Structure 1
Amino acid sequence: MSFNPLEQRGIPLDRQVRNWRELNVQPIDPDRCDPYTRCRIIAMNGIEVEAILFSHQLARNTVDPEVKRHLAETRYIEAQQQKAVNWLLPGVSSVLETTIAYEQVAVDLTAWVARMEPDPYLQQAYQFGVLEDFDHLYRYANLYEMIEHRKAESIVDNLTEVMPGRPTKYHHRHPYDNVRDPYDKSGTNPLSKLHALTIMAAEQQTMNFYMNTGPTYMEPIARQLYQEIGLIEEEHVTHYESLVDPGETWWEQLVNHEYNECYLYYSFMEQESDPKVKAIWELHLNMELEHLHAACDLMRRHDGREPQEVLAPELPNVLTFEPNKQYLRELLDTQMDLTTLGAGYVREAHERFEKMQEQIHGGEEPPSERVMVQHDEMFGREYRVQSEGEHPDPAMREK
C-alpha cells in the first residue's frame, strides 16, 4: 500500500512534548532481542542526531528570528526522540558489544542501500564503503574475543558474517581522494537523496561514537584500534556527504531530512518484531509527519517552491534490515583491491595513496594488524577457522 507523507497529518506540534515518565522507555533485552531491532535503534539514533545537528547549522545561518524559534521548537522534539531511541539500548551491554552492533548496522544497511540504489555511480560509492565496514566488524570481533572472551557471532546472531573484508590498513587515503562527485539535485531519483542522507547520518554517528568511547578503554590495543577506525569513519563521512548536491537550498535540505525521517520510521514500523519498540516507531512517525508539513511551509515561504518539486510522490519500498551474505561475497570477489583516486576508483596504488600510507603508518603495522597478531598470540589461532566456500583471508594486491 502506498504511503504519501505529504497527504498525512500527524500529532500537532504543541502536543508532542513528552514528560519524564513517557521518555523513560524500557530498553531491549540484548540476550533475547532480534539483532535487527538493535540495528534499527542504532540507525534511527544516527538519523535523529543528524536532524538535530542540521537544524543547529540552519539556525546559525539564518537571521530570521521566527525561523530560529520554529527550528528550536521542532529541534527540542527531535532531541526527545533521539533520547527515547538511544535509551532503548541496554546499559548491560558493553561498549564493545555496542560497537559490534554499530558495524552490523554499517554492513547490512549499506549493503541493502547499494543493492537498491538506481544510480551506478552512487551504487559504487556504497559498494566501496561497505567492504571497509565489513573488515572493521572483523577487527572488532578479534578485540572482543581478546577482552571479553566471547564471539561476535553471539551479537550479530550469524545474520551478518564475521570475516575479513578489504584490510583496514589500506583504508587510509589522502583526504583529496575521499571526495566524490555529487548527484545532480535536478535530475537524480528522489530515492538516491534518501539513500545518501541515511548512510551519511549512520556513518556520522559511528564516527562520533568511536571518537568519544575509544579513550574509555584501559587496554592499549583497544584504545589504538578505536583511534584508527575512528579516523577511517571520518573518511567515510567525507565520502558520503560529498555525494549530496551542495546546490540544494537550506529549505530543500530541510524537507529532505524530514521526509527521510518519515520514510525510515515508516519502514522500521512495518518490519519491527518487538511490539514496544514498534510503538515508538509509530509514535515518532506521527510526530515527523507534522515536522515535515512545517518544513514544507518554510520551503514555500522562503524558497517560493512546492515541496512536491523535490520529494517523491510516495514513500519507496521499505528500507529493510536483512542478511546480505551472498551480495557481500560477490563484492569481496570483485572489488577487494579497489582504492580511490580523485572522485573515482582504481585497482592500482598511486603516488598519493602510497605517500599517505607511509605518513600514517610510519613503517609500522597499524593497530588493525596488531590486534590480529595479539589475538593469535593469546589463542594460538586465527579468529575464525574458515569453512568450505568462505572467502580466504584477503590481502590487497602488492602495492
Structure 2
Amino acid sequence: MTFNPLEQRGIPLDKQLRNWRELDVEPVDPDKADPYTKCRIIAMNGIEVEASLFSHNFARHCPDMDVKRQLARIRNLEQQQQKVVNWLLPGQSSVLETTISYEQVAVDLTCWVARMEPDPYLKQAYEFGVLEDFDHLYRYANLYEIIEHRKAEKIVDNLTEVMPGRPTIVQHRDPVDNVRDPYDKNKTAPLSKLHALTIMAAEQQTMNFYMNTGPTYMEPIARQLYQEIALIEEEHVTHYESLVDPGETWWEQLVNHEYNECYLYYSFMETESDPRIKQIWELHLNMELEHLHAAIELFKRHDGRDPAEILAPAMPKPVTFEPNKGYIRELLATQIDLTTLGAGYVREAHERFQRYQEGINDNVKPATERIIDMNREKNGHEYRLETDGPHPVERLRDPQHA
C-alpha cells in the first residue's frame, strides 16, 4: 500500500501547539538504545534545523506580510518539533560520544542515499563525500580512546566499521573545487531532490555542531581536531548544497522542504525499533502533513502550478539506517584516491590542490594525523573496528595481509 502525502491530511495547524509538559520528552537510554535510533534522532534534528533556517531566509526575502506571518506560524511549530527531537538525546552522553554518532549518521545515511540515487552524477557526489566522513569517524574514535579511555564499538555497536577512509589531510581543497554542477529541476527525479536536501541538511547540522562544540574542550588536540574537521564540513555543505538547482523558486523550495520532512518522518516511523520514539515520528508526520498542505497552497497561489508537477505522487522507499560495510569497502578499494577539480573528480593532485595544501598545512602536521600518532604512543596501537577482515586497500598493499 502506497502512502501519498498529497492526499493525506494530518493534525490541523491550530491543534499542533504543545505545552511545556508535552515538550519535556524523556531522552533515550545511551546504554540500551539502538544506535540507529540515535542516528534517526540526529538526522531528524538536522532536517528540522534546516527547515527553520530555510524559513528564516525565505522570510528575509519575502515582502508579503501575510506570507511572512504564515511562515512564522509554521516555523514556530517546526521549532517545537526540533526541540522534542534533539532533546531525545541523552544528557549523560559526552559531546564526543554524540560526535561519533553524528559520524555514524553521515556514513550510513549517505551510503543509503548513494545506493538509492538514480542520477549517476549525484550518486558520485555522495560516494565521494562518504569516504571523507568515514575517515572522520576513525579520527574521532581515536580521540575518544585517548581522552575518555573508551572504544567506539560501545557507540556504533559493530554496525559501522571504524578504519581509515580518504585521509582527512588530503580533504583540504581549494574552495572553488568544492562546487558541483546542480541538477536540472525540470529533468531530475523527485527522489533526487529529496536526497540532496537530506544530505545537505545532515552535513549542515554536523558543521554547526562541530564549530560550536569544538572550543568547549580543554585538551588542545581535541580543540584542534574539531577545528580541522569543522572546516571539512564547510567543504561538504558547499559540495552538497551546490547540487540543488538555484533556479527553484522560493515556493518550490518550500514545498520540497515540507515534502522531505514528511518523507523522513514516514521513513523513520516505518523503520523505528523503539515503540516510544516511533510514536513521536508518527505524531510529527501528522503535523508535517498539514505543513506540506499549507506550503502547497502558497505554491499554487504564487507559482500558479500544480504540485504534482514537482512532487512524487507517493512516498519513495523508506530511508533505512542499516550496515553498509560491503559498500564502503568497495568504495575504499576504488575511490579512495579521488579528489576534485572544478565540478568533476580526478585522481591526480593538480596544481590548485597542491597550492591549497601547502597554504593550509604550511609544514605543520594537522591534528587528524597527530591524533593517530598520539594513540599509538599512548596505547601502543591506533583504534580500529574492522569486523569484516583487514582494510581493503591495506590488504592489497601489505604483504602480511596477502
The answer, yes or no, to whether TM exceeds 0.5 is: yes
2:163–2:385 Cα contact (<8 Å) kept = no
Map 1:202-221 → 2, pairs under 5 A: 202-221=202-221
Instruction: Kindly provide the amino acid, as one letter, of the partner of residue 325 in structure 1.
Output: K
Post-superposition CA distance 1:283-307 (Å, at most 9, x none): 0000000000000000011111111
Partner of 2:17: 17
Counterpart Cα distance in 1 of 2:253 and 2:276: 31
Q: Number of paired residues? A: 396
Deviation at 1:383, TM superposition (A): 1.7
Which secondary structure does the structure 2 equivalent of 1:305 belong to? Answer: coil
Counterpart Cα distance in 2 of 1:25 and 1:317: 29
Instruction: Kindly provide the amino acid, as one letter, of the partner of residue 175 in structure 1.
Output: P
Partner of 1:92: 92
Deviation at 1:46, TM superposition (A): 0.1
2:161–2:387 Cα contact (<8 Å) kept = no
328-337 or 380-389, larger mean C-alpha shift: 380-389
Map 1:168-207 → 2, pairs under 5 A: 168-207=168-207
The two structures have a TM-score, normalised by structure 2, of: 0.97
Counterpart Cα distance in 2 of 1:244 and 1:341: 19
1:166–1:394 Cα contact (<8 Å) kept = no
Counterpart Cα distance in 2 of 1:176 and 1:334: 25
Map 1:322-341 → 2, pairs under 5 A: 322-341=322-341
Which secondary structure does the structure 2 equivalent of 1:159 belong to? Answer: coil
Map 1:299-310 → 2, pairs under 5 A: 299-310=299-310
Map 1:121-270 → 2, pairs under 5 A: 121-270=121-270
Alignment partner of 1:107 is 2:91: no
Which secondary structure does the structure 2 equivalent of 1:5 belong to? Answer: coil
Counterpart Cα distance in 1 of 2:181 and 2:231: 22
Counterpart Cα distance in 2 of 1:385 and 1:92: 24
Instruction: Kindly provide the amino acid, as one letter, of the partner of residue 194 in structure 2.
Output: L
1:386–1:392 Cα contact (<8 Å) kept = no
Counterpart Cα distance in 1 of 2:73 and 2:385: 54
Post-superposition CA distance 1:198-250 (Å, at most 9, x none): 00000000000000000000000000000000000000000000000000000
Deviation at 1:384, TM superposition (A): 3.2
Instruction: Kindly provide the amino acid, as one letter, of the partner of residue 152 in structure 2.
Output: A
Deviation at 1:387, TM superposition (A): 7.4
In structure 2, the CA distance between the partners of 1:335 and 1:380, relative to structure 1 (3 Å rule), is: same
Post-superposition CA distance 1:64-98 (Å, at most 9, x none): 00000000000000000000000000000000000
Deviation >6 Å, runs of 4+: none
Instruction: Kindly provide the amino acid, as one letter, of the partner of residue 147 in structure 1.
Output: I
Counterpart Cα distance in 2 of 1:387 and 1:205: 29
Counterpart Cα distance in 2 of 1:134 and 1:233: 13
Counterpart Cα distance in 2 of 1:384 and 1:360: 28
Which secondary structure does the structure 2 equivalent of 1:340 belong to? Answer: strand
Map 1:38-53 → 2, pairs under 5 A: 38-53=38-53
Which secondary structure does the structure 1 equivalent of 2:144 belong to? Answer: helix
The two structures have a TM-score, normalised by structure 1, of: 0.98
1:164–1:393 Cα contact (<8 Å) kept = no
Deviation at 1:392, TM superposition (A): 5.6
Counterpart Cα distance in 2 of 1:232 and 1:352: 17
1:190–1:310 Cα contact (<8 Å) kept = yes
Deviation at 1:160, TM superposition (A): 0.2
1:164–1:394 Cα contact (<8 Å) kept = no
Alignment partner of 1:391 is 2:372: no
Post-superposition CA distance 1:37-73 (Å, at most 9, x none): 0000000000000000000000000110000000000
2:16–2:77 Cα contact (<8 Å) kept = yes
CA RMSD of aligned residues (A): 1.3
Counterpart Cα distance in 1 of 2:387 and 2:306: 56
Counterpart Cα distance in 1 of 2:111 and 2:271: 18
Post-superposition CA distance 1:3-56 (Å, at most 9, x none): 000000000001100000000001000100100000000000000000000000
Instruction: Kindly provide the amino acid, as one letter, of the partner of residue 108 in structure 1.
Output: D
Which secondary structure does the structure 2 equivalent of 1:345 belong to? Answer: strand
